[in-house]
Amino acid sequence: MSAASPFLDRFNNLVATLRAHPEVQVYEVFVRPPAPEEELRAAEAVVGALPADLRAFYAMHDGVFIEWGLREKEYETLTDAFEYPDYGQAPGCINILPVSQAMSTSWEESYHVNEIQEDHQALLFGGPLKEQPAVKAVCIDNFSKYNHADLVFGPEPVVVVSSDHGADMDSSDFCSFSLYLDVTLAIFGANRYSHGLGIGWSRKSKRVTEWTKALTLDALVAELRAEE
């Protein structure tokens, strides 16, 4: 990430596009200031070295949140920024957690991400790991009650989109954090499992290195209206 923060430019464009749509209501937008270097070091003391793209992201904005839904539709609940979503939330949400909140052993200890098995590591990293990381996985984007984006640690940490409250981490393709941001912005913060990296059990998961699938906001809104 450069000093100009290409992500933030793209995120601001996404917010403007959502706010300009006559059928969309944006509920809250929150971009935190840069994470202090001491917090980045403290996080790495817990989980080990962060991927360069993720570390650069946090050095510019220590957490990003937006939630949006259909105008004139009442949702059962709205999500508080950087907290846990609940059932019945609005369909569009980006909830990239602050580094001190994300880089914690609590995700594994409280079963918010499933235990990572050696065969899963072999799939993600090309072979079994000789040394196990101190923390195997954390949640970095807690965007829905049922799905969230998790960083799995290894020689080159990757992002998967887990399902079943984090119990299923095998039915998602995997990618770098930067590519995950590409996916998230391309689908306007809609569910990254159903509109992005989730594959169900249709095939074996694979690494995604670029995102070229187009999704217009009009098409997404029409899909959401059809689900009402």
pLDDT score recorded for residue 142: 97
**Burial grade of 134 (CB within 10 A; 0-12, 13-18, 19 or more):** exposed
Q: What is the Cα–Cα distance from 61 to 34, expressed in whole angstroms?
A: 4
**Burial grade of 166 (CB within 10 A; 0-12, 13-18, 19 or more):** buried
Q: What is the Cα–Cα distance from 112 to 155, expressed in whole angstroms?
A: 23
The superfamily (CATH) of domain 6-226 is: SMI1/KNR4-like (3.40.1580.10)
pTM of whole model > 0.85?
Answer: yes
- What angle is formed at CA 195 by the lines to CA 5 and CA 197, rounded to 5 degrees? 75
Mean pLDDT across the chain: 95
Which regions in the chain score pLDDT beneath 50?
Answer: 1-3
